[in-house]
Structure 1
């Protein structure tokens, strides 16, 4: 049976803290300051309370009695419900007992995540001289905080930075993947975010478990990734398809533009006719990518896309509505090859791997992948990377699920070399006259 009592730890000639200690079982004792003080000369070792020799000590005596009963009841409730009782739990219960306004505990993962969100507009962006997190990144931190709060409810305990050891990370990973059935990529991203928040906290001298530096996220293996793209032939089917509504026409225009300029939906859907720039009778689009902050310039050259952007520029639409309409567009265009992919299952509320008609798997993310896949090996990879915004060729190849072609650079060199030789002016040679010999 648990016991709750008090003690002081000093005999100094000045007021000292009164500690509350809870004995849960033999050898398992937790203790923390109660928030009250007493002069050692006014402390009774017999009652383990202040002596009732003044109005102040009488008040402290009464409050400690109330605290003892409150904590004892809370301990019994927590043990009955399997809640972990530790020093952090005890501190929270003391504050609850007296309705204390508690200063923000910056040792909590959720509190520091909220600190990042609250100061998003003044945070420096890594690798640049800019400040201010993107809306996408802020949304990511909000989602991360919400998930950590859900896990705290699961384990019935607030998560402190000091708690994040290997055992904690293993349990969190198991909960994400086996209980919540989150995807491999999403679960791995949560661990990446956890590490990021830990390292950020450490920068402002918050004590963090040393293991945090070893946290590693993860992704699906390339062989397990399901990438949906639209070939040039399929895009031509879509371009010629008979559609039924204005919304479908608008979605088709976004799809055709997206598959030719290779940008994320978040950047694509922000475009307006004012973003078009003309130079030497050519059309350029200058884009600052929201996710990376990179500035890229895309040339519009496909005749059908030039016609769209000059004469029928699509109107603004949300990504959710676009994803719905483009599925209808692709269905009408008979993009119905059965392919393996993952589709959201309303019953499980997770994506289910199966074979589906291709039009059911097309999303706005298909645009950028189609651009990268269709033009790979037709256009030099560094040029494509300059448009998609990938920082390295290896990332680009992973994005389109291709292995590095080690012959490609050699082939390109030989092609350019042959072109140079063909364009070379013939050399004049002096031929000796035999008669002069």
Structure 2
């Protein structure tokens, strides 16, 4: 009489395959993968089943019991009919039991990512009547592809869409955060990528695991976000610092200008004198934001005009700008210890700690300093029109500020006084 048992063959601190062992008697036995994985700590070697310590493991145990019954029935049926029982026989039965599709190149996660990248110029942009993924979007897909290929190397096998169940996602999340030391934001974005790519693959006729619709992305809690900005006082301190290197003097112009116009660094450093438009009301900067493709008009205030009156800065590379502004902030003696995340060359990750402020200054401080410094001085809707934010909630998260329910009421009263 045939007997079927389950086992795992590793106690590694990661998800491992579950095998089934079939003995047909007289030295005839087979050991095969079930297609399911589990953390060894959730496996009962005594009972030969997952420990029923959560809902997912309970479901997994039920699936294994169903497979056991299914295989016993098929083995008995095959023996009665004299059908040859071999390795391929069991492979077919497992696939039939769970209605699995034989993996192909199209069912691989990495291959569909490559397909998205290759078809980027003709892909329709979600929610918009346009085609063609942006340069930044394609860059993000390429970055995520590297993550997936690294995880496949870690697993020792390719990832197919039908593999992406609860246990897979938990293992992937653990690898991202604990092994690779990715931030919560980066890890959460990776899960969001898996979900959206799986949904896209399904639209192309690829069978995917139903669990992908339950994947939940995540990000840092607001209280865990460390936003580095420069106050008006610190900007004046930088402006009045005696710099000798021409490269630093030029970078300082970009830094001071950036903190007054609130644009992303890729837009800031592309501004030329051709973007300036002088009117009877004042000087404006007209540009199209690279990320959102929004056309924005930015007023050049007195602080920004002081910078431009000294001569328009010449263009520099983003990375040079990041390096220079740290040196400028150090020359300006911005040495106060502040909590923040700093890139660590050895781990190639950002680490949290208390560092001198000049070490934490990046190009992103320009945009955030503008939004933070002028918040409540200028109506939020006007600031959003300049930064390009479409939702107030997103803008407030960006500067790590709670919503002020009295703000609109105060602005209304102030305007009524002016009208009156």
TM-score w.r.t. structure 1 length? Answer: 0.72
- 8 Å CA contact 1:162–1:208 kept in 2: the answer is yes
Q: Counterparts of 1:286 and 1:219 in 2: how far apart (Å)?
A: 33
2:21 matched to which residue of 1?
Answer: 25
Q: Unaligned stretches of 5+ in structure 2?
A: 1-18, 23-29, 35-80, 89-97
TM-score w.r.t. structure 2 length? Answer: 0.75
Provide Cα deviations, 1:388-434, integer angstroms capped at 9, x if missing partner: 1111101100100000111111211222223333xxxxxxxxxxxxx
Q: Secondary structure at the match of 1:297?
A: strand
- 8 Å CA contact 1:176–1:182 kept in 2: the answer is yes
Q: Counterparts of 2:220 and 2:414 in 1: how far apart (Å)?
A: 36
Shift of 1:347: 3.1
Q: Counterparts of 1:381 and 1:114 in 2: how far apart (Å)?
A: 41
Shift of 1:331: 0.9
Q: Counterparts of 2:198 and 2:277 in 1: how far apart (Å)?
A: 44
Moved more, 130-139 or 378-387: 130-139
Provide Cα deviations, 1:68-99, integer angstroms capped at 9, x if missing partner: 9xx9xxxxxxxxxxxxxxx9xxx89xxxxxxx
Which aligned pairs between 1:33-432 and structure 2 lie closer than 5 A? 105-280=105-280, 282-303=282-303, 305-309=304-308, 312-421=311-420
Provide Cα deviations, 1:218-237, integer angstroms capped at 9, x if missing partner: 11111111100001111111
Q: Secondary structure at the match of 2:237?
A: helix
- 8 Å CA contact 1:273–1:309 kept in 2: the answer is no
Q: Secondary structure at the match of 2:107?
A: coil
Q: Counterparts of 1:369 and 1:30 in 2: how far apart (Å)?
A: 52
Provide Cα deviations, 1:230-254, integer angstroms capped at 9, x if missing partner: 0111111111111121110111111
Moved more, 368-377 or 306-315: 306-315
1:429 matched to which residue of 2?
Answer: none
- 8 Å CA contact 1:296–1:387 kept in 2: the answer is yes
Shift of 1:337: 1.4
Q: Counterparts of 2:313 and 2:127 in 1: how far apart (Å)?
A: 34
Q: Counterparts of 2:123 and 2:372 in 1: how far apart (Å)?
A: 35
- 8 Å CA contact 1:185–1:219 kept in 2: the answer is yes
Q: Secondary structure at the match of 2:136?
A: helix
Provide Cα deviations, 1:327-375, integer angstroms capped at 9, x if missing partner: 1111111112111111122333322222111111000000000000000
Q: Counterparts of 1:131 and 1:314 in 2: how far apart (Å)?
A: 35
- 8 Å CA contact 1:121–1:131 kept in 2: the answer is yes
Q: Counterparts of 1:269 and 1:191 in 2: how far apart (Å)?
A: 32
Q: What RMSD over aligned residues (CA atoms) do the two structures have, in Å?
A: 2.6
Q: Counterparts of 1:117 and 1:165 in 2: how far apart (Å)?
A: 25
Q: Secondary structure at the match of 1:415?
A: helix
Q: Counterparts of 1:241 and 1:387 in 2: how far apart (Å)?
A: 29
Q: Secondary structure at the match of 1:170?
A: helix
Q: Counterparts of 2:162 and 2:237 in 1: how far apart (Å)?
A: 57
- 8 Å CA contact 1:260–1:302 kept in 2: the answer is no
1:39 matched to which residue of 2?
Answer: none
2:11 matched to which residue of 1?
Answer: none
Distance 1:24 1:167, change over 3 A: closer
Shift of 1:319: 1.5
Shift of 1:302: 2.2
Q: Counterparts of 1:194 and 1:244 in 2: how far apart (Å)?
A: 50
Aligned residues: 336
Larger radius of gyration: 1
Q: Counterparts of 2:136 and 2:208 in 1: how far apart (Å)?
A: 26
Q: Secondary structure at the match of 2:335?
A: coil
Distance 1:353 1:115, change over 3 A: same
Q: Unaligned stretches of 5+ in structure 1?
A: 1-22, 32-44, 49-67, 72-86, 93-103, 422-437
Q: Secondary structure at the match of 2:297?
A: strand
Q: Counterparts of 1:152 and 1:180 in 2: how far apart (Å)?
A: 14
Q: Counterparts of 1:25 and 1:414 in 2: how far apart (Å)?
A: 78
Q: Counterparts of 1:393 and 1:105 in 2: how far apart (Å)?
A: 44
Q: Counterparts of 1:244 and 1:193 in 2: how far apart (Å)?
A: 46
Q: Counterparts of 2:309 and 2:299 in 1: how far apart (Å)?
A: 14
Shift of 1:311: 5.1
Shift of 1:29: 5.2
Q: Secondary structure at the match of 1:234?
A: helix
Q: Counterparts of 2:397 and 2:164 in 1: how far apart (Å)?
A: 31
- 8 Å CA contact 1:248–1:325 kept in 2: the answer is yes
Q: Counterparts of 1:220 and 1:377 in 2: how far apart (Å)?
A: 25
Q: Secondary structure at the match of 1:106?
A: helix
Q: Counterparts of 1:286 and 1:115 in 2: how far apart (Å)?
A: 36
Shift of 1:276: 1.7
